[in-house]
Structure 1
């Protein structure tokens, strides 16, 4: 008999900590590849040029974590039918942490024994393992380390469903993930629905990313893949053998790489990871989720360092992924008011190991022949669509209050909203982050907050910018500041500058000064940007992120001595932070004081939120110690 229940399990966790209080106005992490024609299909090139957001606002960056892990009772939702047991973390993006075959005790995923955030997601924080749900724009989702709403829903056949959902603020979409295990089934069903709650077309992105042990062969129905080698290139290459090496075995890849399998438009896309005995995981879906990908960290020192950074002291892993488009460089146009849905399954692979590890075409055909017929999945999808708006029986976990706020805004503005019957956004979820905006909707003014502390949140996204701007037309430093931020994120620099100055005329604040400085920097006025950021930091000397921004600006203005002076005057607790110490190394080298840089590096420098692909540590080591090899602990090179 299938059940859904809330429980907990002890796990070493590095807590997220506070968010960066500074709105990410400089834009999201830059896309590292500019796709061109050649052997890439026109559809991919066209979709890759469409839909990338100007900034990640209204989200704030999650950079407050460290590397100290404390055993924590992590809340989980468990779906169990006596054959499989699936364990989800609704407080951490709804991640499927574990999928266990109860008949054999075999774990089907890579189950990370720790929860250690690292800087790989759009909002910085991300952690490895399990199955992750990514929506909105290219990269690990803004919701990947955020809570989702969760509840139990009962299907007409009596089988309970774990439903998780949230309002995605960047695109103005509501997404839900329904997971269940039919009685007697040996594959987890996952139904995903995305609803565009706006009347306008929005760019859409979705990838379900599954971590698996790396000692496997990965199979997918394709004869070629669009390959990314983290050296700036993307090309179509045959699979599985490239340069004499069978790349379908993750450990045989020297460097980190992406393989987007060219599956065409199959009725039932799939991807599988099987070990030498023919056991493993197979993921299938209905046709809408067409893309399939293998990601490997590679066998280089940098790749292995990343694996250990994310899962300290544990074995390696690879990822098999499934998405709406052929590659992860693409967004698809989603019409206004549209709803997209599909069904995924996750279950044990039990295949002939000789065939599975032999000829590629024969192995693919063998696995394909063991999978359910496309018509069967289509029938299950149709039934799941009929259950999608069924009201929850019992709430299990609360997500954020942003969906409830958006409903209030739409109602106050006479705008349409979605049917909340199956995905309710209760007023009881509204909290301190939403409070200034509920007050604005209710009273017509923002609360009178002191400029000494940063605003707790920001709005925009999903086409709401114009409405919020109109509501912020009143006076006061905070209203003018938020108008400036809304204009800034939309690229309206003249209006943004005027509103930042109006905010400063009401009351001086580090936040408005910083906004003007970013406009200066974007316009090439480096000295002005550095002066304003340094002044802003002096107003809030405990703000580590502003200290780093001010130091970066001083270096960009060729003022390394001033940068070192800023660091020397910082509070002791701030000076020891990895990002500030990294800044100190850069400034010391630029100022011609390599001994100071060598002292910091020799003492051991740990940057808790070092970015994926960021080579600052190895490059700085080489600059400080030009005749010495880069130590393994400073080597995060992806290629």
Structure 2
């Protein structure tokens, strides 16, 4: 039967550096999905050979490669007898703007907990350790504190000797007495070919395209040959076991099955249109593309499942070659779910900090520690007062769950800034505005100026102009300033700001696009067109964003959109 090995190693890939976090908190309608996290939008499009921490689980049939530093992504699942990967193995690590925190990368299996969308954890480290499995083989445990919902989760990867399936035991725990809305989807990317078929035990489902309509359809409604990007959520009858497979014309492909709690199943395709092809080459250059088969707690990705206070939910998933429905030994895995892991990699210090704040006992099997510099100001607040930082230095993320502690904290520009963000998160916009005004009265900072600009759109342009003078090296602030000036009809002022921004900021793709929009607003259509002709790449172009297409239409009229700029999700 052989044996199973667990090896800590490195995976070398051409990768784009994630860059620094954006210091500007999300204050709009998505704030509850993102805060207390900050956006990860500091990446570019330059790829450099990079060593990524990896853990490999291997038996006679499968070799699973996991990236603990990137959300615990199951990067590869090699089927050793055939020499073929069951997953789409991306040859590069190229972040793009698809996740709740912006940065996301294609390929492998992603574990999504939190809010609707790609998890805030997808490009962040997780704790990783090993425990002894129920059969004596090594189990790789991944765990973290999900910060937007304050839930604890673990992902145990178990590859028994002789098994043709990799088992993934997932446990999500709500350590609080109150109910939390839960969301989970396991997203598996698989190679796309013209002959790929999707097999699933359902006759009907719900189709969602980028026309923003959800409609009831036959389960065969979406295929790999479709022109436009689409989601198809399958309605698996309650008396059938939940599974999904993507197989090629030769019958080989990935099967994903699970115990009953994880009943949702979905297909996502980019489409064969020019925009879909462009997105796939953008995310995974030099490949034939991919599609995704997914499994979730709810029937669709537009809803949550209420999780009672103190609840612990678990299920077992299986990944392997398509064939007979695999055995799912949930109870066997449960017998080791509480085992204390031998540490391989550390995650964040946020879980340990929350345990200190609340006095909550640690949950078995998922130890949190690793307190570091990011947690230091909040540890100080637990002792009575936050340190007062340099007003020109980014103040870091705001722990919005610490609202009451911030209300009682001694006033400083720092504490009042964070109080404003926390109040805004909880829907108190007037209170947030007052806190930011008080912060500015104590010390002028670009961070409170920018937040106040959000609360006072009538004053936004002037407030942001002052903010960018104080922090010209912050790309996100430059973008918001130029957009506010354009919205206020002050294209000349926008051009002046763009002219004195540091080159490292002004030459970013997002700023080049704004340059074209500013030129057009000033009547310089030829100059705006020249920006496109010179070429630029908006590294953080959002999935479904129309700004690039709309600006091209303004400056080029009815000329066809060049392929390099065509990211349309729906072909016209």
Contact 2:69 2:126 in 1 (8 A): yes
Distance 1:485 1:627 in 2: 44
The alpha carbon displacement at 1:465 in A equals 3.5
Aligned positions of 1:357-368 closer than 5 A: none
Distance 2:209 2:463 in 1: 40
Equivalent position SS for 1:406: helix
Distance 1:91 1:267 in 2: 36
1:627 equivalent in structure 2: 558
The alpha carbon displacement at 1:385 in A equals 2.1
2:380 equivalent in structure 1: 439
1:138 equivalent in structure 2: 116
Distance 1:299 1:267 in 2: 32
The alpha carbon displacement at 1:147 in A equals 0.4
Contact 2:403 2:423 in 1 (8 A): no
> Does 2:257 align with 1:284?
yes
> Does 2:397 align with 1:457?
yes
Distance 1:185 1:133 in 2: 22
Distance 1:501 1:403 in 2: 32
Distance 2:335 2:407 in 1: 39
Distance 2:561 2:134 in 1: 61
1:357 equivalent in structure 2: none
Aligned positions of 1:310-321 closer than 5 A: 310-321=283-294
Deviations 1:198-256, CA, capped at 9 Å, x for gaps: 2111111000000011121011111112001211211011121x4xxxx44x1x11111
The alpha carbon displacement at 1:104 in A equals 1.9
The alpha carbon displacement at 1:136 in A equals 0.5
The alpha carbon displacement at 1:293 in A equals 0.6
The alpha carbon displacement at 1:155 in A equals 2.3
> Does 2:192 align with 1:210?
no
The alpha carbon displacement at 1:637 in A equals 0.1
> Does 2:368 align with 1:425?
yes
The alpha carbon displacement at 1:401 in A equals 0.9
Match of 1:515 among 441, 451, 459: 451
2:169 equivalent in structure 1: 191
Match of 1:398 among 336, 341, 346: 346
Distance 1:256 1:532 in 2: 40
1:220 equivalent in structure 2: 200
Distance 1:423 1:86 in 2: 22
Aligned positions of 1:105-504 closer than 5 A: 105-215=83-193, 216-240=196-220, 242=221, 247-248=222-223, 250=224, 252-266=225-239, 268-350=241-323, 370-372=324-326, 376-377=327-328, 380-392=329-341, 394-411=342-359, 416-419=360-363, 421-426=364-369, 429-441=370-382, 443-460=383-400, 464-471=401-408, 473-504=409-440
> Does 2:26 align with 1:24?
yes
Contact 1:27 1:56 in 2 (8 A): no
1:589 equivalent in structure 2: 520
The alpha carbon displacement at 1:478 in A equals 0.7
Please, what TM-score do these two structures have when normalized by structure 2?
Answer: 0.97
The alpha carbon displacement at 1:54 in A equals 3.4
The alpha carbon displacement at 1:74 in A equals 1.4
Equivalent position SS for 2:34: coil
Deviations 1:181-208, CA, capped at 9 Å, x for gaps: 1111100000001001221111110000
Contact 2:139 2:158 in 1 (8 A): yes
Distance 2:180 2:477 in 1: 33
Deviations 1:11-37, CA, capped at 9 Å, x for gaps: 111110101011111232xxxxxxxxx
Question: Could you say what the CA RMSD is over the residues aligned between the two structures, in angstroms?
Answer: 1.3
Equivalent position SS for 1:607: coil
The alpha carbon displacement at 1:418 in A equals 4.3
Aligned length: 566
Query: Runs in 1 of length 4+ with deviation above 4 angstroms?
Result: none
The alpha carbon displacement at 1:371 in A equals 1.0
Equivalent position SS for 2:374: coil
Q: Give the gaps of 5 or more residues in structure 1.
A: 29-52, 351-369
Equivalent position SS for 1:59: coil
Distance 2:469 2:75 in 1: 44
